[in-house]
């Protein structure tokens, strides 16, 4: 039997995990371990390109780890680790800089958008895609599951692999996009993608009362002003969320009753809230258990980093030898010279 293809995927510790993370990323990560050898990385170094407070970053890394495991990602069946715990990520980033044109980085859409929003642009923001290429290629990944906003960065990773291979010899595969991407979940405002920065999220570990306070604020069909107005569930974000948490038969019933004004928006939200609370109960319970036992979380991350470093060291051994940098490259070259001496 042939070896399984390798997947790398990373996620920033940006705050409390929400339904967008759970439906769009976490569930998919949990499923992919059945078919691929998976490396899942909490990319804390990427998070340092924006202003942050040290305690907040540390806490966000811990909370995200808890949410990932509580959502069904089994650390025994994948390699789950924190980016900064594997120093080879930054080492390879520097070496990739020598084959990455500055012009390519300046043309990145995200760089142009983010740099336009600040007075002073840090070099990390420009170099972000090179670090991302190092994240992926360090593990010789075959596939990367990415959303539309990251496709340009993945293409740069492919270019970096191509340029490095051409100059120093074949080593890095050109990673491909993994199809069948996760669900894109609209936030409570009914317009933008669910995002912590937009403050339009539903935290996956929220207690029932807190969840209801948030769900009841969700924007619904704007044309439905009164309860007895017929509704159009197909333009209602609350009804869209029912797709993930309500069985087909019950959802069809809600659709009909909404269109005939037999059920109001508040009732529709209450049904959604009850289903979310019920389905996420195991996630909340597991998250509470892990939060109460931080040593267990640290052990999981340490074990994941150990496995990741072992793979990273193998890759960097070849990279450094080919590029002629590092202690081993110098020693081997001197041995060769000594052997060639008369």
pLDDT digits (tens, 9 = 90+) for 190-233: 777 887 766 788 999 999 999 999 999 998 888 777 777 777 88
What distance in Å separates the CA atoms of residue 239 and residue 269, rounded to the nearest whole number? 8
What distance in Å separates the CA atoms of residue 258 and residue 83, rounded to the nearest whole number? 47
pLDDT of residue 96 exceeding 50, the answer is: yes
In terms of phi and psi (left: phi > 0; alpha: psi -120 to 50; beta: otherwise), the region of 291 is: alpha
Shortest CA distance to 150 belongs to which of 122, 184, 110, 187?
A: 110
pLDDT of residue 179 exceeding 50, the answer is: yes
Residues 6 or more apart in contact with residue 65 via CB below 8 angstroms: 42, 80, 82, 297, 300, 301
Say whether 208-279 and 6-184+294-340 share the same fold.
Answer: no
- Average pLDDT, integer, range 135-153: 88
How confident is the prediction for the chain on average, in pLDDT? 90
Specify the pLDDT at position 1: 36
Specify the pLDDT at position 222: 81
Specify the pLDDT at position 2: 47
Identify the band that residue 187 occupies on the pLDDT scale cut at 50, 70 and 90. Answer: confident
Identify the band that residue 158 occupies on the pLDDT scale cut at 50, 70 and 90. Answer: very high
H or E element in which residue 30 lies: helix 27-32
What distance in Å separates the CA atoms of residue 145 and residue 209, rounded to the nearest whole number? 34
What distance in Å separates the CA atoms of residue 42 and residue 64, rounded to the nearest whole number? 8
107 in helix, strand or coil?
coil
For residues 278 and 16, the model is more confident at 278
For residues 298 and 332, the model is more confident at 298
Active site residues: 114, 193, 196
The CATH classification number of 208-279 equals: 1.10.240.10
Shortest CA distance to 51 belongs to which of 2, 124, 100?
A: 124
- Average pLDDT, integer, range 93-112: 93
Specify the pLDDT at position 101: 95
Contact 238, 185 (CB under 8 A): no
- What pLDDT digit, counting tens, does each position of 244-278 carry? 999 988 889 988 888 888 888 889 999 999 999 99
Specify the pLDDT at position 299: 98
- Say how many C-beta atoms besides its own lie within 10 A of residue 53's C-beta: 8
- Angle of helix 88-97 relative to helix 294-323, nearest 10 degrees, comes to 30
For residues 123 and 180, the model is more confident at 123
Inter-CA distances, 45 with 28, 84, 129, 136, 163, Å? 23, 6, 12, 14, 24
- What pLDDT digit, counting tens, does each position of 38-78 carry? 999 999 999 999 889 999 999 999 999 999 999 999 999 99
- Average pLDDT, integer, range 8-36: 92
Contact 245, 215 (CB under 8 A): no
Domain boundaries, the chain: 6-184+294-340, 208-279
The CATH classification number of 6-184+294-340 equals: 3.40.50.620
């Amino acid at each position: 039997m042939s070896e399984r293809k390798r997947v790398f995927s990373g996620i920033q510790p940006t705050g409390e995990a929400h339904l967008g993370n759970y439906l769009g990323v976490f569930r998919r990560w949990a499923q992919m371990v059945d078919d691929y050898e998976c490396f899942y990385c909490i990319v804390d170094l990427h998070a340092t390109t924006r202003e942050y407070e040290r305690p907040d970053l540390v806490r966000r890394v811990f909370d995200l780890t808890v949410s990932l495991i509580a959502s069904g990602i089994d650390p025994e069946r994948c390699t789950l680790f924190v980016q900064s715990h594997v120093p080879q990520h930054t080492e390879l980033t520097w070496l990739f800089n020598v084959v990455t044109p500055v012009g390519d980085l300046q043309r990145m859409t995200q760089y142009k958008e983010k740099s336009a929003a600040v007075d002073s642009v840090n070099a990390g923001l420009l170099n972000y895609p090179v670090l991302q290429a190092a994240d992926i290629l360090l593990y010789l990944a075959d596939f990367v599951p990415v959303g539309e906003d990251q496709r340009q960065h993945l293409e740069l990773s492919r270019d970096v692999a191509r340029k490095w291979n051409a100059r120093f010899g074949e080593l890095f595969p050109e990673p491909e996009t993994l199809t069948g991407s996760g669900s894109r979940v609209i936030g409570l405002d009914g317009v933008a993608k669910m995002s912590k920065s937009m403050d339009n999220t539903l935290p996956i570990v929220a207690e029932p009362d807190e969840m209801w306070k948030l769900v009841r604020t969700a924007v619904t069909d704007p044309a439905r002003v009164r309860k007895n107005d017929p509704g159009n569930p197909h333009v209602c974000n609350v009804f869209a969320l029912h797709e993930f948490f309500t069985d087909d038969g019950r959802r069809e019933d809600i659709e009909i009753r909404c269109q005939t004004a037999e059920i109001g928006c508040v009732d529709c939200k209450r049904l959604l809230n009850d289903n979310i609370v019920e389905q996420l109960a195991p996630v909340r319970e597991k998250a509470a258990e892990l939060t109460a036992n931080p040593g267990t979380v640290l052990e999981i991350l340490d074990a994941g980093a150990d496995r990741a470093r072992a793979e990273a060291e193998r890759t960097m051994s070849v990279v450094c030898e080919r590029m002629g940098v590092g202690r081993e490259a110098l020693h081997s070259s001197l041995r060769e010279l000594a052997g060639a001496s008369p």
